[in-house]
Amino acid sequence: MANQKEFDYILPGRAESYWLATTPESNYPALHGDIHVDIAIIGGGIVGLTTAYLLKEAGFSSIAVIEAGHILRGVTGHTTAKVTSQHHLIYDRLISKFGKRQAQQYAESNQAAIEKIDSIVNSRQIDCDFVRKPAYVYAGSGDSTGKIQKEVQAARQLGLPASFEEKLPLPFETYGAVRFSNQAQFHPTKYLNALTGEIHGDGCHIFEKTRALKIEGENPTTVTTDKGTVTAQKVIQATHYPIHDKPGMFFQRLYQSRSYVLGIRIRDPFPDGMFINAEEPARSLRSQRTDGGELVLVTGEGHRTGEEENETVHYQNLEKWVRSIYSVDSVDYRWSTQDTISVDHVPYIGRLTSDNDNIFLATGFKKWGMTTGTVAAMIITDMILGRSNPWEEVYDPSRFKPVESAKTLISQAIEATKGLVGDRILPTHKEASDIAPGGGAIVKIEGERVAAYRDQNGTLHTLDPSCKHMGCIVSWNDAERTWDCPCHGSRYNATGEVIHSPAVYGLSEKKVKK
C-alpha cells in the first residue's frame, strides 16, 4: 500500500476541481425545525438551482432548496462544463431505437438548453467565461469513420448544425470527425453562483448542511431531513441519483460511472473547439481561459463506480497520453467526477411515476449534464406550471424501450448481485496491520469482513462494509480515499460519511480487536 509521499508522487497537481478552486464556498444556513413551502427541491447542483431560478421567475415565492453539503460541491462542481447538444455518437442510435420523432425532441431540447443558458448569461450579465465553440467527435482509428459518417447524417436529419470534417487541428492522426457548430462552454460555478443570488430571499430559501433522508406522502409531501422537515405541494429530486428510488424501480434502471480530469498547461496554443474521441477509452479535450493563461482539461478513463481496486492508474494513463501528444509544462489540477447512466442512455426527467403528480425527478444525464440538466429544469418547470412541454415524452421516467434496455437491465442485475454477495470485493490484505497511513482496504478480522482505513496519525477506523442503500459490499478507492459501492454508486469518505447518493446514511462503525 502506498504511503502519503508515494500518493503525492503518483498523482500530480492540486487535488481539486478548477471550478471549485476559483469560486468561494457558499455559506447558506442549515434548516432548523419544520417549514412549509410550495416547492421543495432536493439537491443544489445545476438541476436544482436552475429549476428554483425558473420557478421563482415564473412567480413562485415559496421555494426551498435542500443541499446535504454545500451547493455546487457535488457533480456539478466536477464537470468538464461543455454546453452542447453533441452527446458523443447518440443521434444515429436514438433514431434507430427511439424513432425520429423522439430523437427530434432530444435534439431540439438540448439545442434549446444552450440558448437558455446563453439568454440567462446575457440577461443577468453573468461573468462566467461563456463562449461559443465548435464541438467535435473524432475517429481515432479508421474503424470508426463509418460511425462518424452515420452520426453526421442522423444529426443533419434532425436539423442539428452538423458537418463532416476530414482534418482536425490536433497533434495526432484522426480519421474524420462530426462537427457541431455554435456550441458553447462556460465556468459552471460562476454561472450558478449568480443564480443563487436571484433565488435566496423573499420567501425562498437555500438550506445547506441539511441532508434529505426520506420523502413521504402526497398532497402535501413531506421531506424528512436530519435538521427538520419540509412540507411542500411539489417535491423535485435533483440529487444526481434519486434517494427515493423504489417507486419506479430506478435502482434497477440506473448505474453510476466515474471518470477523471487533469487540468494542464501546454506550450502551444490549444485549437478552437471541444474534442472527444469515438472509441474507448474516452479522451476528451477542451481549454479554459484563466488568469494564469490557458488551462487544458483532459478527461477520460471512465469505469463503473466501485469496480476497480487501483484507481490511481487512470490519472497516470491520462497524464501519459497527454504528454505523448503535447509539450506539458505542468499539471495544475486533478479531480474525478461521477455520472449516472440510464439503461437506455437517455435521462429520466419528469414525474416519479405516471400516477404521481407531486414528486418529480431528473437523473441519468450520462456525461452531458450541463445541457440535459437545463432541459430538466425547463421540463419540470412547465409541468408544475401546467404547461405543455414539447420534449417531455422522450425523457418520461415511466418509459421502457425493450430492445434498447433489456440487455443493460440484465447486466445491471448481474453487477448488483456481485456487489451484494461480495464476489468481486475480496480482502486485499491478510492483516489490517498491512494498511499504511492514508490507505484503506477490505480485510477480514476475526472471520468478518471489515472496511478498514488508517488515518495519517496511524489510527485504524473500522466500518461495516455494507452499503446503507441496499447492502452491497463497498470497495476502497485509492485515488480519492473513499468507499465506493459497486451496485448503485453510493460513495462514502474514508471514515464512512456519505458523499454520493442513493445512500443517505453513513457506514456503521464496526468494533473489532485492533
Note whether residue 373 is domain-resident.
Answer: no
Distance CA 268, CA 291 (A): 17
Note whether residue 332 is domain-resident.
Answer: no
Distance CA 380, CA 361 (A): 8
Note whether residue 477 is domain-resident.
Answer: yes
383 closest CA partner among 45, 44, 58: 58
Fill in the amino acid letter for 243: I
The CATH number covering residue 425 comes to 2.102.10.10
Q: What backbone phi and psi angles, to 5 degrees, belong to 260?
A: -130, 150
Domain count for the chain: 1
Note whether residue 32 is domain-resident.
Answer: no
344 closest CA partner among 391, 402, 276: 402
Q: What is the pLDDT of residues 219-239, one digit of tens each?
A: 899 999 999 999 999 999 999
The CA-based diameter of the chain, rounded to the nearest angstrom, is 66
274 closest CA partner among 398, 136, 159: 136
Is pLDDT of 415 > 90?
A: no
CB 23 within 8 A of CB 189: yes
CB 505 within 8 A of CB 212: no
Q: What is the pLDDT of residues 315-335, one digit of tens each?
A: 999 999 999 999 999 999 999
Instruction: List all residues 6 or more positions away from 508 whose beta carbon is below 8 Å from its beta carbon.
Output: 463, 464, 466, 468, 496
Pairing of strands 131-138, 274-277: parallel
Element (H, E) at 422: none
- Burial (CB < 10 A; 0-12, 13-18, 19+), residue 159, is exposed
Q: Quote the pLDDT of residue 414.
A: 55
Domain encompassing residue 479: 402-514
Is pLDDT of 405 > 90?
A: no
Q: Quote the pLDDT of residue 309.
A: 72
Average pLDDT of the segment spanning 189-194 = 98
Residue found by looking up cell 471541444 in the block: 274
Note whether residue 282 is domain-resident.
Answer: no
Note whether residue 362 is domain-resident.
Answer: no
Note whether residue 65 is domain-resident.
Answer: no
Average pLDDT of the segment spanning 465-490 = 95
Q: Quote the pLDDT of residue 430.
A: 59
Average pLDDT of the segment spanning 43-59 = 98
Task: Indicate the pLDDT class of residue 3, thresholds 50, 70 and 90.
Answer: very low
Answer yes or no: pTM beyond 0.95. no
Q: Which three cell numbers stand for residue 95?
A: 433514431
Is pLDDT of 404 > 80?
A: no
Q: Quote the pLDDT of residue 12.
A: 83
Q: What is the pLDDT of residues 418-427, one digit of tens each?
A: 555 554 445 5
Distance CA 358, CA 356 (A): 6
Note whether residue 507 is domain-resident.
Answer: yes
Task: Indicate the pLDDT class of residue 310, thresholds 50, 70 and 90.
Answer: confident
Is pLDDT of 467 > 80?
A: yes
